[in-house]
Structure formats: structure tokens, C-alpha cells
Amino acid sequence: MCLWGGARHSRLLKIDEMCDSTRANPRARLTTTYPGLPDMDRFLKHFAVSSSVCEESVCSDHLAALFPNIHPKPVPPEPQQQVILYIIAGLLGSHKESLCDFLVEVNQECGKWEVYHPSQESEDLCIPHLQQFLSNLVVRQNMPHLNTTRVLIPTPGYTDVLDVVQAVVSHPDPRVQSNTSVGAVTACVNPQTSFMEHRFLFPKLLEQCSHGAVNNVVFTGLTAEQKHPLLKHMQQLIRSANPSAALILAERGAVSRAEDMRLILSDSGFSQPQMIRARYLLYPGWWEGRFVSGCGSVSVSRHCVQFSRPLERILFLQHCKGE
């Protein structure tokens, strides 16, 4: 046996002998063994990320967030004017459009604003349409009288919010990647329009509140009755799916607190280290647009009902239910 192997063997025997005296107490055994394993913390952090990411790559700019206190902090570059994107997700009936209108109206004096309007040809996300919109924004940045500094992007239909994030961060044009950044992602939830029959959730509702991708969840219904069972049930459900999200009450998208407004319009909430780490652990390949979120659309038909006389609510509901 070589000298290195003999020393290693003696070291392991010594650790085993120390463990014999603490075998009844696992915590004490780990405490005794730990000093003999240098850099264990660094190894465990690396193992946690690598076992989740597998063969997917990691952006070099995100290494400091994944492995804190390991890499020296680089000197920050000179700040440049960027287009800040705010993604507003929500199902049909979640009042996400009302929230966008409210944000633009209240913040008209805080720079130039623009709202992205999804393609009318499809209710699903059209990635080329969104990316072309971002390309046009960057081109207008060179025109001082046309440039826009803040953009609201409402997600269409039952789109997974991560698909919108990937379409933005993996834009094929490097100029768009360097001149745009996601400030914060907010999901609108209306408890009254979140369920199908038998209390089944609509597809993509929880995905639109995903941990690591969504900073805020705005409840746009039943906010006047904060103890309403349906509202409390939805809050518990969202909290279990995304423990770090800020829960905001805003009836029909009307935000009443200045602190809630700052959270929704944060310039850096999406880029916080804990958010970046969660995305790599949960959605490997996201920053290159390689994570597949799956299909969750449903066929929805819309009907317009007009009344010539005052509505008899109870009788109307009975007819809707087929009673």
C-alpha cells in the first residue's frame, strides 16, 4: 500500500473510532466527522446545482448567485440605459389587463411606458411576435424621441409564465439581450375565475405563479372580504406553490398601497440571487430557452348574453346549471 493510501486508511479508521462513541447520536457523529472533510459546504452547493442542471449549461453571470462567497465579485460595468420589462401573467378573467392600464395611468410621469399586445391570430403565445416587438424596442432606443424605458408584457391566455421569460432572455439578437432586462414578474389571480367544476383548477394557474419565476401574486377578486373561504383557500394554495412570492390585494387590478406598487415595478426583483438559484434548480436550461413547460391549454368558447329586463339571479343560475 502506498504512503498516501495508508495515511488515508488510518484517517478513516480514526474517524470510525470516533463515530463508535457517538453512534447513538447521529448529530454528534456528523459534527465529529465534519472537520475531517474540508470544503464540504462548497461541495454540497455544487452537487445540489449540478445534480439538477445535469447536462444543461449555466450562464457565467449567474455563478455568483449559485455559489455565493466562492467567486470574487467582479467590478460592476458602467450602467447603461436598459428597457425594463414587467411580465404580467394571469388567466382569462384575472383582470391582468386592468392592472396594466392602472400601472400605466398612475405612473405616466415616471418615464415612457408601453404595453405589449399579443398577436390576435392565436390565443397562445407567439414567440416570434414577442421577439420582434423587443427588437423594435431596441431599435427605437437610438431615437431619443421614440425610446421607451419601461414595458408591460401581459401573457396571452393560458401561457406558462416561464415560456414568456425564456422568450425574453433567450432572444436570438445579442443587442436585445444586452439592452433589455426583466424587472419583476407578477401573476394576477381572481379566486372567482380560477376553478372549473368540482373545484378543479384551470390549467397553468399554478404554473403562472411558479416559484423562482414569479415575484408577486396579485389577488384581484374578493379582496373586500379578506376572510372569505375561497380567498383564503387560494392564498394557501399559492403560498404552498410559491413560498417566496409577495401576496398583494388589488380589487380588479387597482393597487392601493405604495409598497405593493414598488414590488410590482421592481427593477431587480427577478434577478435576486435566490430567484436565479431557484430557476436553475427547478427549470434547468431556462436561460437558453431549452426548458419545456408542456401544454396545458383548454378549449374555451365565449358567449355574450344580453338582458332586456332586470336579472333574476337565482333563476339565471339554475338555467346555467341545467336544473
Instruction: Please tell me the predicted confidence (pLDDT) of residue 78.
Output: 47
Question: Does pLDDT of 5 surpass 70?
Answer: no
Domains detected in the chain: 3-56 (no CATH), 83-288 (3.40.50.300)
If pLDDT is split at 50, 70 and 90, which confidence band does 3 have?
very low
Q: Look up cell 404580467; give the residue.
A: 88
At 95-145, the pLDDT tens digits run 999 999 999 999 877 778 889 998 776 678 899 999 999 999 888 877 666
Give the DSSP H or E segment for 314: helix 313-320
CA distance 204 to 207: 5
Report residue 220 as a C-alpha cell. 384581484
Report residue 218 as a C-alpha cell. 396579485
Instruction: Calculate the alpha carbon distances from 203 to 154, 199, 235 in Å.
Output: 17, 12, 17
At 238-294, the pLDDT tens digits run 999 999 999 999 999 999 999 999 999 999 999 999 999 999 989 988 989 989 887
Contacts of 119 (CB under 8 A, 6+ apart): 126, 129, 156
Instruction: Please tell me the predicted confidence (pLDDT) of residue 195.
Output: 87
Beta strands in 162-282 (DSSP E): 180-189, 216-219, 246-249
The top-scoring range by mean pLDDT among 54-58, 85-89, 104-108, 136-140 is 85-89
